[in-house]
Every structure is written in C-alpha cells, then in structure tokens.
Amino acid sequence: MAIITKKIKGTEDVLPKQSYRWQFIEKIMREEAGKFGFRELRTPVFEHTELFARGVGQTTDVVQKEMYTFDTKGGESVTLRPEGTAGAARAVLEHALPNEGLPIKAYYLTSCYRYEKPQAGRLREFHQFGVEEYGTSSPLADAEVILLADSIFKRLQIKNLHLEINSIGCPECRPKFNAALRGYFGRYTEELCETCRTRLDKNPMRILDCKSPVCSKIAENAPTILEFLCEECQEHFEQVKKLLTAAGVEFTVNPSIVRGLDYYTKTVFEFVSDAIGSQGTVCGGGRYDGLVEELGGPSLPSLGYAMGLERLLMVMENQGIEIPEPEPCALYIAGLGDEAQLKAFELINQLRSYGISAEGDVVGRGLRAQMKYADKIGAQFSLVLGDNELLEGKAKIKNMTTGEQSEVPLDETFAVNFSAIHMTAKFGQR
C-alpha cells in the first residue's frame, strides 16, 4: 500500500538517527552566544507581508521571486519568514526593548522559507542561527559579532573558512555610487536580464548580486563602493579592520560583496568555504543602521548575521569532522511474565530518576526478540528478570561488550549499584 503523500520538494526530514548532529551544533551556538551576552529571541514563523517588503527590500530577489506569500481567511497578506532579521526588528520595536537598555543582544535558531531551485545546502525550508545587536554604531560591535561567528567555527573545528569583508556605504555616499553604477550598467542595458533592467533605475547595486552568468560577467568591471565611501564610512571600515587584526582574525577585503538584502549599510561580511562548491557562503551579515527606522521606529543602528545549519553540516561532513554520538541506552531490562514486567518497569523508572538512560519492552516481545532489540539500540548493559530473579530478589547485569556479569539486589539501591558498575566500565576505575 502506497503512502498518501511524501515530503514537499525542497524540504528534508531530520530523522532520530540524525538529529543529534543538529543538536550538537545548536548547543555550541547557544553556548558561544551566551558568552558574548546574547540571549534567545523567538518570533512567529509568518508575519505581515509588508514587514518583509519594507525591511528586506522590494528590489531584492527574495521579495520579487522567492517569498511564500498567501492571503488568510480574514483577507490579510502574510508571508512565511524568508530570513530572521526583519521579524527580530519588529519584535524589538513592538515590545519597546530599547527601554530595557542598549545594546540589545539577541540570537535565534529558526526555520526560513524561500521558493527557489533546491540544491545541495540550499533548500526551500532551511535553518539558520542568527544574531542581532541593536543600539550601537560602534565598529567594536561589528568586530564583536564577527568574532562570535569565528568562535563558533573554531568550536566546531571547521577549517579553511575565509572571512571576506566590505563596506557598502551609507545614505550619504551611496547615491554617488548608484549614479556611477547607472552610468556603467547603462551601457549594457540590452544584455542585462529583465530583472536587472528594472533594477537599473530603482536600485542598481542589486545588479551586483544577480546570479545570472551574463549579469555577473558584466558586473566584474563595475565601479566599486570603496571608491565612493564618505569620510565617516571610510573611518568606520578602517576601525573594523584594525579591530579584527588586533584580535588575530584574518580577512580579505572583497569589494564585490553587497549581500542580497536592501537593509545593509556600511560593514558587510561573509565566511566562505571552498568545501561545498559554488554555494560556499556559510555565514553572512553586516550592519543595517536604517532598518528600524524603515519599519517605523526610532534611529537605532543595528547589525547581525545568519549562518545556515544545512551548509555548516555539509562543510563538517566534507572535512571529516566527527560529531560525537549521544550516549546509548545504559541498561536494557528484559522482563519475562507479568510480574517480571512490572518489576522491570519499576526499576527502569528508578534508573531514569537518577539520570540514567534505561529501556524495557513495550511491545510484548519474547526474550530472544528483546535481546535482539537491546543489541540493535546499542544497550551497554542488559538484565533479564524472570521468576527466579524475583524470588531471590537479585539479578545479574551483563556487560554487552565484554560479557562480564555483576550481581545486584533488586531493591531501592538498584540504581546506585548499577551506576557504580556503569562508571567502572566507562572509566576503567576499580
């Protein structure tokens, strides 16, 4: 009999045997974020469409081509979040978080949704770890969030990541740069893709981020923003570079980085891997000083980044980085008969109350099938309870690796006695 449906194209299931890998990197991300003073923020999976149209930018590929947008039964237009920053900024404003003191430091682990061609490390439902910092214009904050990303990569033992940085200016110097871009790309109007022809007047900088091979080739000789930075942006960028150098973080200035979202200003950066092909950016972000104002709030300079969990896992797998598997079941107790099953249930719960992983039969298997299952789940020890064990009030615990057996009483000291046996086998202490 065929199942009625399968997963939607561009989505993936994370199975129980795989989830520990996700939990491992998420744990490290939470720990490192905590060291830097960031606390978790959770926002809804869907928002009013206007939030992303205004925040992300009408001329971006995300808004023009990739958003999952639909009307509710009440006639509202809502969109599944394509990224995390706009929703975080909305939450900061709606709950008046600036009143609690600045800077506001938040991180998120979240799912995002974009309708684009699925490929390795780039799904329609994907997952991100991101950080957001609100209320500071200091280059110290720029360097700090980059250092947080770097610390995560070091904890994960990821190698051969290249940090590339750039400045894309501010509303003061951006108009001159846009004028230069219009002059340059205007000579190639007929060759540009249809989307980029519409961008030429509205937002020519978006052409630099176009994925079309023709547009990308034309953009190679376009003017760079570094030629047009105002004094303030230039000084800010120089300070960021000095701080990264002082912290021992290697980087390359890449004038072609503009990021794919309109809210960016000044510093932008990417951590790039050469281990996963053309989609090598595993972390990207920068500063977005005007975003909060664009959403109707006060002037609140902000910055942050996001890193893709799927891509990180791909990099780690390609580099042969081992993720420690979770501890298997410590003890499997097989009960034979109703009375033995009841006693097994009691002992298993005693073990779990002591923080020890334990399992027993919940299917109604015979002894042979139970022991086969214990072996399949990798149980470290096993114990068989039958009439004789119940009558004598004691049983033998078997080490499933060495075959060694130890006798223990079936009373309130059972968990303590097993814990001693378990720790002795684990650490070799006698």
Pick the most confident of 170-184, 209-223, 389-403.
389-403
Q: How confident is the model at residue 429 (pLDDT cuts 50, 70, 90)?
A: very low
By the 10 Å C-beta count (0-12 exposed, 13-18 middle, 19+ buried), 384 is classed as: buried
Residue with tokens 């599944």: 80
Question: What DSSP string describes 124-161?
Answer: SEEEEEEEEEES---HHHHHHHHHHHHHHHHHTT--SE
Question: Of 26-30, 177-181, 421-425, which has the strongest mean pLDDT?
Answer: 26-30
* pLDDT(425) > 50: yes
Q: CA–CA separation, 388 vs 65, rounded Å?
A: 70
106-117 residue pLDDT tens: 999 999 999 988
- Range picked from 120-124, 224-228, 239-243, 280-284 for highest mean pLDDT: 239-243
**331 forms bridges with which residues in the sheet?**
358, 381
Residue 334's H or E segment, with its range, is strand 331-335
Vertex 314 angle, CA 40 and 7, to 5°: 80
pLDDT digits (tens, 9 = 90+) for 306-360: 999 999 999 999 999 999 999 999 999 999 999 999 999 999 999 999 999 999 9
Kind and range of the H or E run holding 273: strand 265-273
- Judge whether residue 48 has pLDDT over 70: yes
CA dihedral angle for residue 16, residue 17, residue 22, residue 28, rounded to 10 degrees: 110
Give per-residue pLDDT as tens, 74-114. Answer: 999 999 999 999 999 999 999 999 999 999 999 999 999 99
* pLDDT(145) > 50: yes
pLDDT at 63: 83
Is the N-terminal amide bond of 103 cis, ω within 30° of 0? yes
Q: Would you give the DSSP letter of residue 185?
A: H
What does the pLDDT average to over 387-401? 97
CATH number of 19-173+229-318: 3.30.930.10
> Using CA atoms in the order 221, 226, 230, 231, what is the torsion angle rounded to 10 degrees?
-150
Q: What is the DSSP letter of 99?
A: G
On the question of pLDDT at 430 being above 60, the answer is no
Q: Which helix (H) or strand (E) holds 253?
A: strand 252-253
CB 78 within 8 A of CB 69: yes
Give CA 233 to chain center in angstroms: 30
The predicted structure's pLDDT at residue 59: 66
pLDDT digits (tens, 9 = 90+) for 116-141: 888 777 899 999 999 999 999 999 99
Give yes or no for a contact between 271 and 162, defined as CB atoms under 8 angstroms apart.
yes
Handedness of CA 290, 291, 296, 301 (dihedral sign): negative
Domain pair 19-173+229-318 / 331-424, same fold: no
Distance CA 74, CA 63 (A): 23
So where are the chain's domains? 19-173+229-318, 331-424
Strands 104-113 and 125-134: antiparallel
- Superfamily of structural domain 331-424: Anticodon-binding domain (3.40.50.800)
Element (H or E) spanning 423, and its range? Answer: helix 414-427
State the average pLDDT over residues 289-316. 95
**pLDDT band, residue 49 (cuts 50/70/90):** very high
Q: Which of 87-96, 114-123, 145-154, 408-417 has the lowest mean pLDDT?
A: 114-123
Res. 228: pLDDT tops 50: yes
Tens of pLDDT, residue by residue over 60-72, are 778 878 999 999 9
Distance in Å from the first CA to the final CA of the chain: 55
Arithmetic mean of pLDDT, 414-429: 88
- Mean pLDDT (the chain, rounded): 94
